[in-house]
Structure 1
Amino acid sequence: MSMLGQQAVFAPTSRFADRAYLAWGTVATAYAIAFLQRVSPQSVSLNFMHDFSTDAAGVAMLASSYFWGYTLMQIPAGLLVDRYGVKRVVLCSMAASSLGSAAFALAPNLLDVFAARLIVACGDALVFTALLKLVALSFTDERFGVMSGISQVSGYVGGVLATTPLAAAVTGFGWRACFLFIAGVGLANLAFAKVTLKPDPAPRSNKTLKSVVVAARQSLSHIANWGCAMTFASHFAVVTTLSGVWGIPMVAHFFNISPTAAGTPLLAFMIGNAVGSIFLGHAADRAAAALDGALIRICSLRMILIAMLLPPVAHAFGLVYVTIVFTALGLVAGGTVPLVLKCTKKLYTADLIGVGASVNTTAAGIFAGISQPVIGFAMVAASRFAATDATQGPAAIGDAGYGILIGILLLMSLPGIAGPLLMRGKLIIR
């Protein structure tokens, strides 16, 4: 009887654990697809410019539309998950992302492209919040840290797929076919998630959208919280612009190689990002007493690495050098996020960390969304002004344009130095 009893207890527990991991796998896959969607413009930009007879400004609009949709949904994301539960929110998110991806693939003009990417971003914006909520509900406290870290890495897997693999697929099958395939994968994952996700009711909550907005507004009355938002916004906008929009076109231009070959440095960046988020995240715990100084140093290092990608330097040292620089950038970028999250928890406390995350991510989306058209127009203007860069047509971006890109990214990095200085007083008090 004793053995039978133990088997009876073990079997349901094992089945519950298996279902928990399957459910997590579906949402983690959705997050990987969302990350792929975010950084995919770099792999399709050249084909996109050709098909729509546009230039860097058109690619900038493509990137900007995603950031605006992502920003739009950040503040209500946590509220929606708390109110309606993980399953309903995730299913709606997957549906929006898949349908938006299909609409993007079939878009006949730039206006439809903008609308489709906006829909994709609104869906993708909910995924990571829901994923963390699912981890908290499905796994013990002892497993939460590990599963949260692996959940973050699942996004980087999507980022890896958006580099060389996506560039190769676009070259072989065309960007429209690739995004129709991504939409199909998303719909298949949606069907699997509908079966595996537990239909638990949403917990009762006294939170309203108005209360979240009021808390967010009150938080911005503290200069230190502005500093935290500035720090994350600078990091997010700079890294995403370089690694998700212009990285592959820039490397392809520097060395006159195909987008597939040019994806190698960006692939190294994504791998470095995953490694940095895991290993440098442990260093963030040791830097708890000096978070402001650590953030300033890591931002300064990022600026040095970005400056090392200036066109004359890249031409002089070659593709291997550029790959090494992008790998180092990935390590730095991965190590930045844990530092910012620790600052967010210190400044907002555990009770309001959701508000803090919403404020930071909203600021990042606004900064990234505003900066993309500016970058695109500046790159076009600089390339046209430089006579030697006009040989490949009016839409081509040359050394002058990419030099302007690096210069603007360095300017966009400056809030990452000013932000920790604004946080310093409150971090010390905490």
Structure 2
Amino acid sequence: MRMTSGIRLIPRRYLEWGILSFAYTVAFMQRSSPQTVDLYLIRDFQTTTSGVATLASAYFWGYALFQIPAGLLVDRYGVRRIALLSIGVSSIGSTVFSISDGIATAFFARVIVASGDALVFTSLLKLVALRFPGRRFGLFSGLSQVSGYIGGALATTPLAVALTHIGWRGSFGLIAAVSALNLLCGWFVLPEIAKLQKKNITLRSVIFSAVRALKKSANWGCAMTFASHFAIVTTLAGIWGLPMIEDYFGVDASSAGIPLLGFMIGNAVGSVLLGHAADIFRRPDRTLIVLCVFRAVLIVFLTPALAHGLGFAFITCDFATIGILAGGTVPLVLKCTKRLYTSEFIGVGASINTTTAGIVAAIAQPVIGIAMTASNEAAIDPTFSHALVNDAGYRSLIEILVALSIPGVLGPMVMAKSMMTDLRSVKEEINDTSILKPS
């Protein structure tokens, strides 16, 4: 390939991937931010632990609501239009959140943010499926997840530092501005993929594909697997992980962020290593069962009685190991999704998976909040050090997370037959090249 300008030193598809990956970084940071900002919201909005849990659920309701059309829209109208819409809506939502004057306004703003963020990962996945060879799909879907985990890492200590210096309003205003800048970059770089696909995909064909997919048990098995992963990881690392570490070991937010940072680093490592392995495994469904069982065992170690005895260093390693398993789960699920739906309608598959996951996570948050409050009668420290949750409350949390692991084991079993018999797709993945001309 001749390099005619400075920008051509980097293949265009990597620039496209970089813009959407950055958008996913911001989206993941938004999703993981409640655990860092919740104490400030409790103080400013005069709410309780249950109130924060309800506010956290706002993101998942918005996320689930717009996952329903996300795959249909991306498959029909292409990455460029939907990705730009996604980034723009998220930026507007962040702006509204930064100026919200109460729980109701903040709830509405978080729904807006989630509505935009709901579209970005499906767009990113579609871009990877179309712009990169099939034999590299697992690797680049894993790398795409790494960009999200970077956002999760930014939502821990870095966001905590920003909150200290410019407050939560200034921090989310800055996030809105950065998203707006990324929107401008995307306007000039992102391709109109819908016009370049081999087939002219109509909205009718996409809807028909979605309806047909809903009738297949294997597809629901894939959705169950992802929903289990998403609900557990988001609850643990995005909402209750940080306050749990603070309360277990009596440390400040910066120190409590270390295990969460280890979790995000573990996610990145797992995404790359198991993402590459996903391109080799013929039966990713079997691997998913092993990962889910192992993850459930590691979550049990977070039970208050065990955590106190094992100590801070062990729990940090535990979080990091859970992160490795979580990071490896996503590319394996995506590999199953691509095999079940094919590249043409992978947006539909991603939409069904993430809609199911968003609904499960949204329902789980109030249930967890109620269970923790009932076990604990959570109170607010008048000195604003942290929301006091005792061991009984956290024990209820861990029990619910372990229970949520059950669908993660059953899901791969449901799709096992389809994964075992679909050997033609495996051969297709090995020989597949990108649908679009590489640039």
Do the structures match in fold with TM over 0.5? yes
Among 339, 344, 350, the residue aligned to 1:346 = 339
> How far apart, in 2, do the equivalents of 1:140 and 1:284 lie?
14
Q: Is the 8 A contact 1:306 1:406 kept in 2?
A: yes
Q: Give the corresponding residue for 1:277.
A: 271
Q: Give the corresponding residue for 1:312.
A: 305
Q: Is the 8 A contact 1:46 1:249 kept in 2?
A: no
How many Å apart are 1:281 and its aligned residue?
2.4
Give the 3 Å change call, closer, same or farther, for CA 248–91 of structure 1 in structure 2: same
Root mean square deviation, CA, Å: 2.7
> How far apart, in 2, do the equivalents of 1:62 and 1:191 lie?
30
Q: Is the 8 A contact 1:56 1:379 kept in 2?
A: no
> How far apart, in 2, do the equivalents of 1:281 and 1:147 lie?
7
> How far apart, in 2, do the equivalents of 1:283 and 1:244 lie?
27
Give the 3 Å change call, closer, same or farther, for CA 10–140 of structure 1 in structure 2: farther
Three-state SS of the structure 2 residue aligned to 1:71 is helix
Give the 3 Å change call, closer, same or farther, for CA 95–396 of structure 1 in structure 2: same
Matches within 5 A, 1:91-170: 91-135=84-128, 147-170=140-163
Q: Is the 8 A contact 1:40 1:162 kept in 2?
A: yes
Deviations 1:284-313 (A, max 9, x none): 345424x44322221111111111001111
Among 318, 325, 331, the residue aligned to 2:324 = 331
Among 204, 217, 221, the residue aligned to 2:211 = 217
Among 282, 288, 300, the residue aligned to 2:282 = 288
Greater per-residue helix proportion: 1
Deviations 1:182-216 (A, max 9, x none): 112112222333344456774584421x5544433
Q: Is the 8 A contact 1:36 1:159 kept in 2?
A: yes
Three-state SS of the structure 1 residue aligned to 2:101 is coil
> Which letter does structure 1 place at the counterpart of 2:407?
P
How many Å apart are 1:390 and its aligned residue?
5.4
> How far apart, in 1, do the equivalents of 2:279 and 2:263 lie?
24
Give the 3 Å change call, closer, same or farther, for CA 93–293 of structure 1 in structure 2: closer
Give the 3 Å change call, closer, same or farther, for CA 110–253 of structure 1 in structure 2: same
Among 398, 407, 422, the residue aligned to 1:406 = 398
Q: Is the 8 A contact 1:383 1:401 kept in 2?
A: yes
Please say if 1:429 is aligned against 2:421. Answer: yes
> How far apart, in 1, do the equivalents of 2:188 and 2:335 lie?
36
Three-state SS of the structure 2 residue aligned to 1:244 is helix
Q: Give the corresponding residue for 2:432.
A: none
Q: Give the corresponding residue for 2:202.
A: 207
Give the 3 Å change call, closer, same or farther, for CA 222–160 of structure 1 in structure 2: same
Q: Give the corresponding residue for 1:34.
A: 27
Among 294, 302, 311, the residue aligned to 2:295 = 302
Give the 3 Å change call, closer, same or farther, for CA 66–211 of structure 1 in structure 2: farther
Give the 3 Å change call, closer, same or farther, for CA 355–82 of structure 1 in structure 2: closer
Give the 3 Å change call, closer, same or farther, for CA 189–222 of structure 1 in structure 2: closer
Among 248, 269, 274, the residue aligned to 1:254 = 248
Q: Give the corresponding residue for 1:240.
A: 234
Q: Is the 8 A contact 2:83 2:119 kept in 1?
A: yes
> How far apart, in 1, do the equivalents of 2:136 and 2:416 lie?
32
> Which letter does structure 2 place at the counterpart of 1:156?
Y
> How far apart, in 2, do the equivalents of 1:26 and 1:367 lie?
29
Among 55, 63, 66, the residue aligned to 2:56 = 63
Q: Is the 8 A contact 1:96 1:120 kept in 2?
A: yes
> Which letter does structure 1 place at the counterpart of 2:415?
M
Matches within 5 A, 1:166-185: 166-185=159-178
Three-state SS of the structure 2 residue aligned to 1:288 is coil
How many Å apart are 1:74 and its aligned residue?
1.9
> How far apart, in 2, do the equivalents of 1:345 and 1:257 lie?
43
Give the 3 Å change call, closer, same or farther, for CA 18–194 of structure 1 in structure 2: same
Larger Rg, first or second structure (1 or 2): 1
Task: State which drifts further: 324-333 or 194-203.
Answer: 194-203
Three-state SS of the structure 2 residue aligned to 1:194 is helix
Give the 3 Å change call, closer, same or farther, for CA 296–361 of structure 1 in structure 2: same
> How far apart, in 1, do the equivalents of 2:58 and 2:82 lie?
22
Q: Is the 8 A contact 1:43 1:163 kept in 2?
A: yes
> How far apart, in 1, do the equivalents of 2:288 and 2:137 lie?
26
Q: Give the corresponding residue for 1:3.
A: none
Please say if 1:265 is aligned against 2:246. Answer: no
How many Å apart are 1:250 and its aligned residue?
0.8
TM norm structure 1: 0.88
Task: State which drifts further: 130-139 or 225-234.
Answer: 130-139
Please say if 1:73 is aligned against 2:66. Answer: yes
Q: Is the 8 A contact 2:135 2:279 kept in 1?
A: no
Q: Give the corresponding residue for 1:376.
A: 369
Task: State which drifts further: 13-22 or 260-269.
Answer: 13-22
Task: State which drifts further: 350-359 or 56-65.
Answer: 350-359
Give the 3 Å change call, closer, same or farther, for CA 304–143 of structure 1 in structure 2: closer
Give the 3 Å change call, closer, same or farther, for CA 106–275 of structure 1 in structure 2: same
How many Å apart are 1:335 and its aligned residue?
1.3
Q: Sequence identity of aligned pairs in percent?
A: 53
Task: State which drifts further: 80-89 or 58-67.
Answer: 80-89
Aligned length: 417
Give the 3 Å change call, closer, same or farther, for CA 416–147 of structure 1 in structure 2: closer
Q: Is the 8 A contact 2:303 2:395 kept in 1?
A: yes
TM norm structure 2: 0.86
Unpaired runs of 5+ in structure 1?
Answer: 1-5
Give the 3 Å change call, closer, same or farther, for CA 192–428 of structure 1 in structure 2: closer
Give the 3 Å change call, closer, same or farther, for CA 136–406 of structure 1 in structure 2: closer
Give the 3 Å change call, closer, same or farther, for CA 199–366 of structure 1 in structure 2: closer
Give the 3 Å change call, closer, same or farther, for CA 288–135 of structure 1 in structure 2: closer
> How far apart, in 1, do the equivalents of 2:207 and 2:168 lie?
39
Give the 3 Å change call, closer, same or farther, for CA 41–190 of structure 1 in structure 2: same
Give the 3 Å change call, closer, same or farther, for CA 259–97 of structure 1 in structure 2: same
Deviations 1:253-293 (A, max 9, x none): 1112221221111111011001001112233345424x443
Among 32, 47, 57, the residue aligned to 1:54 = 47
